[in-house]
């Protein structure tokens, strides 16, 4: 019972939903083209990846789709066709052709931080949210860095705290 719970906890719910949607997309594409999805032939996957790239999908999305296909094969005790050189070279060509540059977000402005802090009042959770916003803004931290921060990452000093 516990092992099953740990296996389910291995991935975030959003990741599980993305994998499910990816597999549904791939299997539907295979059905539409009268190709087997499980086990899939490396040539089938290369054609699928090409179709994704032609439809404007980003390189990150295409990479996640490969991960999903490989994972489903492994869960079904099948060799992953995604490890094949045909699939790898197709992905490499797609990444070189469409690019992999990530578009960063604009940093939060002081005015936006002031508005957010003003709305977070009254509860203990609101105080926590204000503290997180201020620490993140003052430290120029990314969302992922704030989310990963743990109490062990803090060093207390007479004049303040070092992260």
154 vs 76, more confident = 76
Q: Give yes or no: residues 137 and 90 share one domain.
A: no
Same domain, 78 and 147: no
According to the model, what pLDDT value does residue 31 have? 97
Summarised one tens digit per residue, pLDDT across range 113-142 is 888 888 888 888 888 888 888 888 888 888
Q: Which residues have CB under 8 Å from 18's CB, separation 6+?
A: 64, 68
Per residue in 78-115, pLDDT (tens digit) is 999 999 999 999 999 999 888 766 666 777 888 888 88
Same-domain status, 92 and 24: yes
Q: What does the pLDDT read at residue 65?
A: 95
For residue 71, pLDDT over 90 is answered with yes
Give me the pLDDT at residue 101, please: 61
Number of domains in the chain: 2
Q: Is the same domain home to 76 and 149? A: no
Per-residue model confidence (pLDDT) at position 100: 66
Omega before residue 55 within 30° of 0, cis: no
Same domain, residue pair 60 and 130: no
Tell me: do 61 and 119 sit in the same domain: no
What is d(CA 67, CA 63) in angstroms, rounded to the nearest whole number?
6
- Asked whether the beta carbons of 40 and 49 are under 8 A apart, the reply is no
Q: What is the pLDDT of residues 1-56, one digit of tens each?
A: 688 888 778 888 888 899 999 999 999 999 999 999 999 999 999 999 999 999 99
Range of the domain at 134: 110-162
Q: What is the pLDDT of residue 79?
A: 93
CATH of the domain at 46: 1.10.150.130
What is the Cβ-side half-sphere exposure of residue 55, based on CA atoms within 13 angstroms?
Answer: 10
Residue 127 falls inside a structural domain: yes
């Amino acid at each position: 019972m516990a092992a099953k719970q740990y296996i389910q906890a291995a991935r975030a719910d959003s990741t599980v939903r993305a994998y499910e949607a990816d597999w549904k997309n791939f299997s539907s594409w295979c059905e539409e083209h009268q190709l087997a999805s499980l086990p899939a032939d490396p040539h089938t996957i290369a054609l699928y990846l090409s179709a994704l790239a032609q439809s404007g999908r980003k390189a990150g999305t295409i990479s996640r789709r490969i991960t999903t296909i490989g994972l489903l094969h492994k869960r079904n005790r099948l060799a992953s066709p995604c490890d094949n050189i045909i699939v790898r070279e197709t992905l490499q060509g797609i990444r070189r052709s469409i690019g992999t540059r990530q578009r960063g977000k604009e940093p939060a402005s002081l005015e936006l931080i002031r508005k957010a802090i003003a709305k977070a009042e009254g509860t203990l959770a609101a105080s926590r949210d204000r503290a997180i916003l201020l620490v993140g803004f003052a430290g120029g931290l990314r969302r992922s860095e704030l989310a990963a921060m743990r109490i062990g990452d803090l060093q207390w000093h007479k004049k303040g705290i070092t992260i």
